[in-house]
Amino acid sequence: MTTATKTDDYLLRVEGITKKYGANTVLDKVSFDIGKSEVVGLLGDNGAGKSTLVKIMSGVVPMTSGKYSWDGKLQEHVNREVTEELGIETIFQDSALVPQMSISRNIFMGREITNRFGLMKVKKMDEIATRILDTVVTIEGIKSSKQLVASLSGGQAQAVAIARAVHFKRSLLILDEPTSALAVRATEALLNYLRQLKSEGVSSVLVTHNLHHAFEVCDRHIVMNHGEKILDVRREDTSVEELTAAVVEGAEGVRRFREGRPL
Amino acid sequence: MTSHYMKVKDMPDSNLGEERHVMTAPAPTEAVAKVRRLSDNQPTTFTARIKDNLQYIRGRGSLEISVILILVILGFAIASLANPSGFPFLSPNNLSGVISQNIPVLAILGIGTGILMIAGEFDLSLGAAIGFTAIAFIRISEAFGWGWGLIAGVGSGIVIALINGLIVIITKIPSFIATLGMGFFWTGASIFVNGTSPALLRKSKDDVLVALFAGDYGLFRSQFVWMIIVGILAWFFLHRHKLGNHIFAVGGNANAAKAISINPNKVKLMSFAIFGACVGFAAILISVRTSAMQPGSTADYTLIAVAAAVVGGTSLLGGRGAIIGMIVGAALIRIIENGLILAKAPGFYIQLFVGLIIVVAAIFNKLMEGKAS
Amino acid sequence: MKLTFKKGRALATLAAMGVATLALAACTSGGSSSTGDTSTGLEDGLGSRTEGREVYFLTYYNPSSDAFWAQILQGAEDASQLGGLKFTHQTADADPDKMVDLVATATATKPAIIFMPFNEGEKWVQVACDAHDAGIQIITYNVPAPESVGDCITGFVGQDFFEVGQLVGERLLEEVPLTAGDKVLFPAEEPEQNYAIQRGGGVQEALDAVGAKGEYLRTSGSDEEALSSLTSWLIANPDVKAVTPLGGTPHRNIVAAMADAGVKVPVVGFDTSPQVIDGIKNGDIIATADQQGYVQGFQSVMQGVLWLDFGLAPANINSGGLGLIDESNVSNLEAEDLQGVRW
């Protein structure tokens, strides 16, 4: 029996992920690991393929080809039901909320608390949602979890999406540009939270444009460029400047940076 | 595979006490907000709870239009009491013979159309489907008895709607166009199956059938009871069942629904099937009342059913609507129609006014929507 | 159920639906043509004397979706077979412009006769006269051509709506003691259309003799809608003295409406249907005027045969005759095997 090497002790491993829309290749043979108790930053300019990668990791979009393994086991079919069971929750860039629905119904969408016949226990859902909004994510200025999401500001709606993912996550939290709509203080709080998660054994993937935020909080950084992974380094082996070069100029930028000839 | 609700049950409520505070999202304006716990703010007394609930139903359309309907009914009732021979709105013949027979049909059609609209789709072959399913009901009843006829009527309604739904889902043509085209197909099919003379309900129309679906009980008919039954079932399904929640999700933001493992195609097909069942059942109610169905004569129903749903607050863009509203919308249209004839309004004005009411009601709902948010 | 239809399956499904639609359309659409076979004809030459026996029979409404026009077509086909014609039917499917196209295309093939109705009057005069100038005989039916057509057409087989309206009104006066100021209901599917105006006008003409007044009501062509509007109107006007339904839909629903409204008055109407036949038999309806659509098709084509073989000038024939159908002769309509001919 071989001893488990560090490289086998991952939480999520993707190998050779390729995604094509017709003739358009959006992701080209992307491979990396997400370790246990790790915060990984997923960086790259617009159009690099980050959001598609997020959707594939969370099971919402199927990959064209590639392998998806979880905790040592290869997953044959990956869809949202599978990833939900694995304990993966995602905060999407567009918050994935239904505006004409109340906050509590949005939080429990697809996971409604029901009785034997499938009828929802609305009172219970409202109560739990209210408690989530008191303890986990506080939103100032709202009166009830029965309020419609359409009546919230962008930042408040994003906060609801965060509350939902935080409440249901068990093993991996993926955040796609979560701070874009948030104020400064809320952003700081959220980044702090990712550190806390680490200490509780929950990994997270942070997709962001803000390289300073990423550098502050992530143990490892993966940089994408035009659908390919061009950099995969630990924080102690890199710097914000190198990450910037990678994001702005791609692989070429990294090479030049390492040769001491940054832009 | 474990089902969804078990996962949340796995996390007992006591866990929430251990959940850590993550962040605070500030209110959009600069106003200083006192830090108060939401839980402490929730209404406790009974009346406070009712007021609280009412506040969150406001703007979803059906509350305000229901008030309008009540006012109209009160107005007509008072006018009828003041002048029973000049405006016989409350005469048993009118209540039983007209109102309690034509409102339920439009209400059930409105419920089917409305549920499908909430899911984000249309089925404009409704009129043609009424013709086809009524003919199926009548001919099977005449040949094998109305027990089989009922199955044939509702069943053919469901099958027609599912075929329409599959075409929309597989080809991705907008349902508006696809079902408009299919309407012609189903009309042709009903003529092909039946010929051009009307299908007649004769020997299978026994007393039990009439008592069940068109029985006269003094001030109302059996159709009214059916409308209440269908309305209650539809309300529990759409507003309290998790599948109903999924319908709102798919219609309101299909991408959000997909991200939470709800399959929009499955949900839409389910909505088409429910629509088809409503159409088939309404066609049966029509057939027992009129004892005949002339193919090609039912095209008008399509848009009037949409009107009933829209007047009741259902959004044309999907994701918003209420069962009460659909029933209220149907009632408002039919009662105003009835009132105009009773008041001896000149012929062409009736069509004009009904059209006007529909537009005004739709505008009214839009305004109410805006005010509440 | 997982919806993972591959592209091939989807296309196949589409193709199957397309074929089914086309097949159904071919069966029920009006673009179809039918040709009668040639019989050997009578000894004196009727049915065979003349060589060129191609004729076009053009309908305005589509017989495959309209029972009345199906009767017209049936009569025409029967006469054509008896007379040994090469018969082609085409329908304008209620599109006035399409009728113009049909006549023009027919003209190009130089048939002996074109049979056509003049529902849209003036609009079709030009194209009919073009055909006449090309040497084709035009025989009309159902709705007569306007004055301006001159001698481009010969013969008309149909019902004079106004005249038959008068007939109905007069029968009503015989049965019901009406006096000045009495109210009579004139329900029609669409009261602003020609048939309703003409028929109603005829009835009113007869009623003017005693000073009774008719009131129009729109019922639409749907049975449920008609039932509701008739019942509502009767409840609002319990002082009505009689009802003359101007079309099939109100006529076949008036008896049920009177029962629901609790208002029962005498009825004389137009057009036949099983419900009207029942009404006549059990006394709820006094009489009805039958357009006798079959006669319109049959006689117009027969006139064509007579002209073709013997040069006889086509005559004007009142297809409805001078009689109404009431309890004395209603049994003629009841034979089940006469469906499509008489009802």
Does C225 contact B101 at a Cβ distance shorter than 8 Å?
A: no
**Which positions in chain A touch B240 (Cβ < 8 Å)?**
119-120, 122
Residue C192 to residue C185: CA distance in whole angstroms: 15
**Which positions in chain B touch C253 (Cβ < 8 Å)?**
290
B239 close to B321: Cβ distance less than 8 angstroms: no
| Chain A residue with Cα closest to B24 | A138
A185 touches chain B (CB under 8 A): yes
Give pLDDT, residue A240.
Answer: 87
| Chain B residue with Cα closest to C70 | B196
| Nearest C-alpha neighbor of B283 from the set B160, B195, B145, B371 | B160
| Chain B residue with Cα closest to A181 | B25
Return the structure tokens found at B44.
């406790």
CB pairs under 8 A between A and B: 196
Does A105 contact B39 at a Cβ distance shorter than 8 Å?
A: no
pLDDT for B159 beyond 90: yes
C342, amino acid identity: R
Give pLDDT, residue B5.
Answer: 30
Give pLDDT, residue B30.
Answer: 45
Interface test with C, best of B87, B90, B91, B94 (most C CBs within 10 A): B94
ipTM of the complex: 0.85
Q: Compare CB distances from B241 to A110, A119, A151 and report the shortest one's residue.
A: A119
Q: Average pLDDT in the C266-283 region? A: 91
**Which positions in chain C touch B220 (Cβ < 8 Å)?**
none
DSSP state of C118: -
Give pLDDT, residue B177.
Answer: 94
pLDDT for B15 beyond 60: no
Interface test with B, best of A83, A113, A135, A173 (most B CBs within 10 A): A135
Q: How far is CA B117 from CA A204, A224, B111, B174, C318, in A?
A: 39, 41, 10, 13, 53
Give pLDDT, residue B105.
Answer: 97
Q: Compare CB distances from A118 to B22, B38, B243 and report the shortest one's residue.
A: B243
Give pLDDT, residue B38.
Answer: 67
| Nearest C-alpha neighbor of B8 from the set C244, A17, A167, C203 | A167
Return the structure tokens found at B373.
């948010």
| Chain B residue with Cα closest to A95 | B256
pTM recorded for the entire structure? 0.84
pLDDT band (50, 70, 90) for residue C27: very low
A136 touches chain B (CB under 8 A): yes
**Which positions in chain B touch C14 (Cβ < 8 Å)?**
170-171
Q: C150 vs chain B: nearest CA distance in angstroms?
A: 36
pLDDT of C240-250, one tens digit each?
999 999 998 99
Does A150 contact B256 at a Cβ distance shorter than 8 Å?
A: no
Q: C83 vs chain B: nearest CA distance in angstroms?
A: 27
DSSP-derived secondary structure for B240-305: IBHHHHHHHHHHH-HHHHHHTT--HHHHHHHHHHHHHHHHHHHHHHHHHHHSEE-TT--TTHHHHH
DSSP state of C145: P
| Chain C residue with Cα closest to B96 | C260
Residue B310 to residue B180: CA distance in whole angstroms: 19
Better pLDDT: B191 or A7: B191
Does B286 contact C28 at a Cβ distance shorter than 8 Å?
A: no
Q: B302 vs chain C: nearest CA distance in angstroms?
A: 13
> Using CB atoms, which chains have 3+ pairs under 8 A with C?
B
pLDDT of B63-122, one tens digit each?
888 999 999 999 999 999 999 888 999 999 999 999 999 999 999 999 999 999 999 999
pLDDT of B222-268, one tens digit each?
999 999 999 999 999 999 999 999 999 999 998 888 888 889 999 99
Give pLDDT, residue C206.
Answer: 95
pLDDT for B14 beyond 80: no
pLDDT band (50, 70, 90) for residue B37: low
Interface test with B, best of C235, C246, C278, C341 (most B CBs within 10 A): C235
Q: Compare CB distances from C227 to B197, B289, B350 and report the shortest one's residue.
A: B289
pLDDT for C1 beyond 50: no
**Which positions in chain A touch B8 (Cβ < 8 Å)?**
108, 111, 113, 168
Does A134 contact B13 at a Cβ distance shorter than 8 Å?
A: no
> Using CB atoms, which chains have 3+ pairs under 8 A with B?
A, C
What is chain A's pLDDT, residue by residue, as a tens digit (263 residues)? 333 334 668 889 999 999 999 889 999 999 999 988 999 999 988 888 898 999 999 998 899 999 999 988 898 888 888 898 899 999 988 878 999 889 999 999 988 999 988 899 988 998 899 888 887 777 777 778 888 888 888 888 888 998 898 888 889 999 998 877 788 888 888 888 888 888 888 999 999 888 888 888 999 999 998 888 988 999 898 888 888 888 888 888 888 888 887 55
**Which positions in chain A touch B37 (Cβ < 8 Å)?**
134
Residue C319 to residue C158: CA distance in whole angstroms: 5
Residue B10 to residue B8: CA distance in whole angstroms: 5
Give pLDDT, residue C209.
Answer: 94
**Which positions in chain B touch A201 (Cβ < 8 Å)?**
none
Does A98 contact B253 at a Cβ distance shorter than 8 Å?
A: yes
* Mean pLDDT score of chain B: 86
| Nearest C-alpha neighbor of A203 from the set A8, A51, A71, A11 | A11
Give pLDDT, residue C32.
Answer: 42
Angle at CA B262, nearest 5°, toward B257 and B265? 95
A42 close to A224: Cβ distance less than 8 angstroms: yes
Residue C144 to residue C140: CA distance in whole angstroms: 7
B261 close to A80: Cβ distance less than 8 angstroms: yes
Q: What percent of chain B has pLDDT over 90?
A: 63
Does A143 contact B1 at a Cβ distance shorter than 8 Å?
A: no
pLDDT for C139 beyond 90: yes
Interface test with A, best of B3, B261, B369, B373 (most A CBs within 10 A): B261
Determine which of A19-23, C2-6, C9-13, C265-269 has the lowest per-residue pLDDT on average.
C2-6
Q: Alpha carbon A229 to chain centroid distance?
A: 17
pLDDT band (50, 70, 90) for residue B59: low
Does B97 contact C225 at a Cβ distance shorter than 8 Å?
A: no
Q: C218 — phi, psi (to 5°)?
A: -85, 130
N-term to C-term CA, chain A: 50
| Chain A residue with Cα closest to B233 | A119
Does B188 contact C221 at a Cβ distance shorter than 8 Å?
A: no
Does B170 contact C13 at a Cβ distance shorter than 8 Å?
A: yes
Interface test with C, best of B100, B109, B133, B197 (most C CBs within 10 A): B197
DSSP state of C267: B
pLDDT band (50, 70, 90) for residue B8: very low
A85 touches chain B (CB under 8 A): yes
pLDDT band (50, 70, 90) for residue C230: very high
**Which positions in chain B touch A60 (Cβ < 8 Å)?**
258-259
**Which positions in chain C touch B268 (Cβ < 8 Å)?**
none
Give pLDDT, residue C180.
Answer: 93
Residue A64 to residue B103: CA distance in whole angstroms: 53
